[in-house]
Amino acid sequence: MSEPKVFRLPDLGEGLTEAELVNWLVSVGDEIRVDQPIAEVETAKSMVEVPSPYAGTVAVLHGEPGQTLDVGKPLISVMPVGAVGANSTAAVDESAAAVAAEVYREEEKAGSGNVLIGYGTPGGHGVARRSRAPKRPVAQVSEAEKAADDLLLMRTRVPGKLGAVISPLVRRMARDHGVDLGELQGSGTSGLIMRRDVEAAIKPARDTEEPEWRLAEPPGPASPAAGNTDARTGLGISARTPVRGVRKAVAANMSRSRSEIPEATVWVDVDATALVELRAALKKADPHDTPGLLAFIARFVTAGLKKFPELNTRIVTTEDTTGGASQEIVAFDGVNLGFAAQTDRGLMVPSVRNADKLSARELDAEIRRLTAVVREGKATPAELGSGSFTLNNYGVFGVDGSAAIINHPEVGILGVGRIIDKPWVVDGELAVRKVTELTLTFDHRVCDGGTAGGFLRFVADAIENPGSVLADL
């Protein structure tokens, strides 16, 4: 009899080591074809659909939405086309159960890091996900108990589909508390019995006695409401949100930026009246093909980086022949201009590749395209991780200034505040002008204040006198 083919979560680019399973696009028992999307996963970079390399019948879905899966761990098991006839569904059941049991044994030997029921197993990277200590070490589980677990798995299968219980921890929790799995209706995919189902079944017992598995928790306040109260403030806890996906990547990148980069900030107020009037005139002449103000500023930024290339660099640490570390400043032939875009999944920074070679209209079109892509969650790792300098238009949030954090490993970020009417002295006379604030945060290792100030002044002068600057670009 043919065995199911196990497809493992692939590296989705940029050396990412994990992804969150967002949604299954197939169910157990479905017939699928090669390259058919089977799941949506969210990495630290973007939301992607994972295609199947196999055709056949879905036998096992290794996970449920919300889980974080490690690269290289089982994602789906597929019974190849022609391997099972119409009257051989029992064989599919047995093979699927065997695959699940084998995955369990592999996890016990080395630890997978997968989160099957909200705990995780030893051997995964990062912070351990286990919230409660196990009743006893996995290594002490006898072969007889393993066999009993496997028999229980077979007894509680959904006919023609995935076994109703995959996780050995769920089965063991049920056995320790006398819960009959055959009487439970699973809330997971295809009737999969989850940890929450077993907990719901044993909940009445908690009102009269303290379950043994609860005694393994670290000691804490004795109050029954302690789990819903913050110990430091005494306030009730309204929600707990795991830091994962894009938010996890942003947090790690910002923390690294703060810890590694000795940054400094300079800023200047700018009279943007001439730029606003220039765009208004262009829009009057051609309402359908007028670049936005951000595109013009992006054009000035790329021109400024050509004059002050120190801000379009990266610091790289390498090992020398003696085993020590040395650093070098790597300069680039061209500018990949990143820009901050707010999405439902958090702040994203796609980059316009070779932005220094594009006109204001071309920059505007690419900025709009990339903004749409990241908001749909379809940006590629290359589009999100290849910037050499970042432009941040936080003025859209109605604020004037911000000491931004550099997008590591870049060495500079320019922020643009809102454009508002302010009193301004023009030719000795007080006038109302369109004023904005530019803020440059830079890595003090690659340049000093003179270079940073020169770049900032160049961009400011270009905004104040856009006609003369654009004529030279």
Whether the CB-CB separation of 375 and 341 falls below 8 Å is answered with: yes
Three-point CA angle 409, 412, 417, nearest 5°: 130
- The angle, 0 to 180 degrees and rounded to 10, between the axes of the packed helices 195-206 and 168-176 is 20
Whether the CB-CB separation of 181 and 169 falls below 8 Å is answered with: no
Q: Please state the domain count of the chain.
A: 2
Predicted confidence at residue 430, as pLDDT, reads: 96
* 71 part of a folded domain: yes
* 446 part of a folded domain: yes
The verdict on 191 and 323 lying in the same domain is no
Residue 368 is part of which domain span?
247-472
The verdict on 149 and 253 lying in the same domain is no
* 163 part of a folded domain: yes
Length of the chain: 473
Kind and range of the H or E run holding 98: helix 89-110
Predicted confidence at residue 190, as pLDDT, reads: 55
The verdict on 187 and 273 lying in the same domain is no
- Tell me the CATH number at 287: 3.30.559.10
The verdict on 197 and 251 lying in the same domain is no
Whether the CB-CB separation of 168 and 149 falls below 8 Å is answered with: yes
The verdict on 322 and 403 lying in the same domain is yes
The verdict on 282 and 138 lying in the same domain is no
The verdict on 60 and 175 lying in the same domain is yes
Q: Could you give the CA distance from residue 20 to residue 265 in angstroms, rounded to a whole number?
A: 36
* 261 part of a folded domain: yes
- From first to last of the 473 residues of the chain, give the pLDDT tens digit: 578 899 988 876 555 677 888 889 999 999 999 888 899 887 765 677 888 888 999 999 998 888 888 888 899 999 987 765 444 444 444 444 454 444 444 434 433 333 322 223 333 333 333 333 344 444 444 455 545 544 444 444 433 334 455 455 566 677 777 777 777 777 765 566 777 777 788 765 444 444 433 333 444 444 444 458 888 888 888 888 887 776 777 788 888 898 999 999 999 999 999 999 999 999 999 888 899 999 999 999 999 999 999 999 999 988 777 777 888 999 999 999 999 888 887 788 999 999 999 999 999 999 999 999 988 888 887 888 899 999 999 888 899 988 889 999 999 999 999 999 999 999 999 999 999 999 999 999 999 999 999 999 999 999 999 987 777 76
- Tell me the CATH number at 82: 2.40.50.100
The verdict on 323 and 410 lying in the same domain is yes
* 214 part of a folded domain: no
Q: Could you give the CA distance from residue 111 to residue 105 in angstroms, rounded to a whole number?
A: 9
**Nearest residue to 54 via CA among 70, 71, 73, 31:** 31
Q: Is 444 a catalytic residue?
A: yes
* 55 part of a folded domain: yes
Q: Could you give the CA distance from residue 97 to residue 368 in angstroms, rounded to a whole number?
A: 49
* 36 part of a folded domain: yes
Residue 209's region, left for phi above 0, alpha for psi from -120 to 50, else beta, is: beta
The verdict on 434 and 361 lying in the same domain is yes
Q: Which of 62, 177, 408, 444 is catalytic?
A: 444
* 146 part of a folded domain: yes
The verdict on 39 and 185 lying in the same domain is yes
The verdict on 252 and 188 lying in the same domain is no
Residue range 339-366, pLDDT digits in tens: 988 888 778 899 999 999 999 999 999 9
Given 149, 184, 202, the domain boundary residue is 202
The verdict on 158 and 276 lying in the same domain is no
Predicted confidence at residue 110, as pLDDT, reads: 38
**Nearest residue to 389 via CA among 464, 327, 454, 298:** 298
